[in-house]
Amino acid sequence: MRPTLVFIRHHEIDGRLYRHAEELPPRALSPETIDQLLDQGILTEVPERRSLYRLFAPFSDTKETEPFTKEELTAYALSQ
Amino acid sequence: MQEQPVGTSTANKAAAYHEAAEREMALNDALAGHSPKALELPVLRQPLLPGKFQERLDELDKEIYGRGVAISRERLLSLGRSRFTEMLTKDRIARSLQRVVSTGTDLTSWPSVEFSFAEAGALTTSVRKRRNAEVNAGIGEDREAAARIAGFEDLWKTTQEPASVRNVLAFHDAFSSLVLGQSLLERLGDGRARSYSLAGGAKAEFFTDWLSALDGAHFTVKLNDPLWHIMAWLAGETTSPPTTLAQDFFRVRVPDREQLTVADATWRGFLLGHDGWSLWNVVGRGARKATHVELLETWGNELARRYRAIQAFHDETRTAFNRPVSGPSYCQVLRFDAAAHRGFLDKAVQTLMSQLSGLLALKLEEMLPGTVVGRFQSCWLLCEVNSARARNYPRDYVDPLIGEWLEEVFPGVRFFHEQFTVTELPG
């Protein structure tokens, strides 16, 4: 799974403006385009940030998922 | 060999030798470092619970779990998507101020947020650090404990970067609510979500965010300020609860939302026996802002004067947690064990809240069988209109019957009908 991709500067994709430090939604761009933007310094990989899109996959219509921590589930989620 | 006292009678001599022997034994005990006696916990009043209460409640909780809550999957997904977009907006807003939150800050993670604030030098509080003299004298520990920033719930304590604090907390609220919403979706099967959190759990404040996803007609029954009822009953308090606390505290006629929140948090803190820096911490967490500890002391004293029985109850409970730490038995130095006291009181209150919530649910189930689909510890019930009887039952009859019954279980405290809120939810 690719680390969270974050914009370093403002960038527009399909009429939507992404601001600095905003996360790129998974599968919004092709891998080749992503690699180009990484090379240009428009995007950067930030492994220390979890992807909000993957954490909330059902609500972000993302196929990839990322788990919550046990503490988060205990504190906020409904139990079994 | 000790010199015998001169010119005294035999009885006086015996008493003198006896006293000397006791002093020597006490000195030996103190030098030997005997472990202090175990604390005898205070015995609190117990409610007059109906027969087999716990078995009946366990049975009801099992049934509540089995019933589940009717949720519309489409509505839940739509609500979730909308809330997710809102959360992304809040993430963007939090990151717009780059003094504290950097590109690498994970706003969902406390260690990451803490590091970012610390790196920006923004993790300082207004609470004065303990001086060496205070450390040596063993005072100011409560102040030191209150000043700790251990999680998102303590971020309000920082004095720097208030805008970043507000933005980060706004994001965190959205995040935590969405976590519950997603778990609701994961537990959805056959159109109903099942979870043990809905049968006596404590996450009512997150669950209420998702009520618009309910499928079908529902209503809620809530006992307002259950903590007041429990503490008034425990202490034998006869004075009525306050109705204009924010107006009294802030000397205004129309308090704003912040003032109402601070007043409510101060009231809750007083009911739970908090004072000093402990009260400062509790009020701050509730209102998400720091209030001067001297002002809280003034308000606390006003409440103590008004609600003498509750204050007396807390004073008495505290004395049971004075632990001897040194000195002979006739001249002991006592130290208040704050952690043990707080643990005891919080556990006792939680047990009573759980019992009160259970009683509420049992009575409503008796009046309208099969309707209760959610029971929360804050004495908030979610009910489904599943029959003609439930649909036609006059809502203004619900609370008087429940109130009368609760007064039998908690004799001496009144459960007036205006202290319940019955709300129809749009289906």
Q: What is the pLDDT of residues B7-21, one digit of tens each?
A: 556 667 777 777 777
pLDDT at residue B31 in the model: 64
Which chain B residues are closer than 8 Å to A41 by Cβ?
none
The mean pLDDT of chain B is 89
**Cβ A56–B80 below 8 Å, yes or no?**
yes
Question: pLDDT tens, position by position, for chain A (80 residues)?
Answer: 779 999 998 888 888 889 999 999 988 889 999 999 999 999 999 999 999 999 999 999 999 999 999 999 999 999 88
pLDDT at residue B327 in the model: 65
Mean per-residue pLDDT, B241-257: 95
Burial B147-171 (b: 16+ CB within 10 A, else e): bebeebbbbbbbeebeebbbbbbbb
List, as one string, the DSSP characters of B315-333.
Answer: HHHHHTTEEEEES-TTS-E
pLDDT at residue B427 in the model: 67
- Single-letter amino acid, residue B381: L
Place B390 in a pLDDT band, splitting at 50, 70 and 90. confident
Given a cut of 50, is residue B1 above it in pLDDT? Answer: no
Place B258 in a pLDDT band, splitting at 50, 70 and 90. very high
Place B138 in a pLDDT band, splitting at 50, 70 and 90. confident
Q: Which residue in the set A46, A59, A73 is minimally distant from B178, CB to CB?
A: A59
- What is this structure's pTM? 0.86
Q: Is B75 on the interface with A (CB under 8 A)?
A: no
- Count of residues for chain A? 80
| CA B350/CA B114 separation, integer angstroms | 31
| CA B218/CA B263 separation, integer angstroms | 32
**Cβ A48–B104 below 8 Å, yes or no?**
yes
CA distances for B157 relative to B90, B282, B283, B290, B340, angstroms: 21, 11, 11, 6, 25
Asked if residue A55 lies in contact with residue A77, where contact means CB atoms within 8 angstroms, the answer is no
**Cβ A46–B178 below 8 Å, yes or no?**
no
Q: Which of B183, B205, B210 to mutate to test the interface with A (most CBs of A within 10 A)?
A: B183
| CA B183/CA B35 separation, integer angstroms | 49
pLDDT at residue B33 in the model: 57
The mean pLDDT of chain A is 92
Shortest alpha-carbon distance between residue A77 and chain B (Å): 4
Residue of A nearest to B171 (CA): A52
Given a cut of 80, is residue B394 above it in pLDDT? Answer: no
Asked if residue B351 lies in contact with residue B358, where contact means CB atoms within 8 angstroms, the answer is no
- The more confidently predicted of residues B63 and B393 is B63
List, as one string, the DSSP characters of B125-171.
Answer: BSSPPPPHHHHHHT--HHHHHHH---SGGGGGGB-S-HHHHHHHHHH
> Which residues of A, range 7-46, sit inside 8 Å of B by Cβ?
8, 19-23, 44, 46
Q: Which residue in the set B81, B95, B180 is minimally distant from A78, CB to CB?
A: B180
Interval B305-362: pLDDT, tens: 999 999 999 999 999 998 887 666 666 677 888 889 999 999 999 999 999 999 999 9
Given a cut of 80, is residue B120 above it in pLDDT? Answer: yes
Q: What percent of chain B has pLDDT over 90?
A: 67
Mean per-residue pLDDT, B83-105: 94
Return the DSSP state at B71.
B
pLDDT at residue B206 in the model: 82
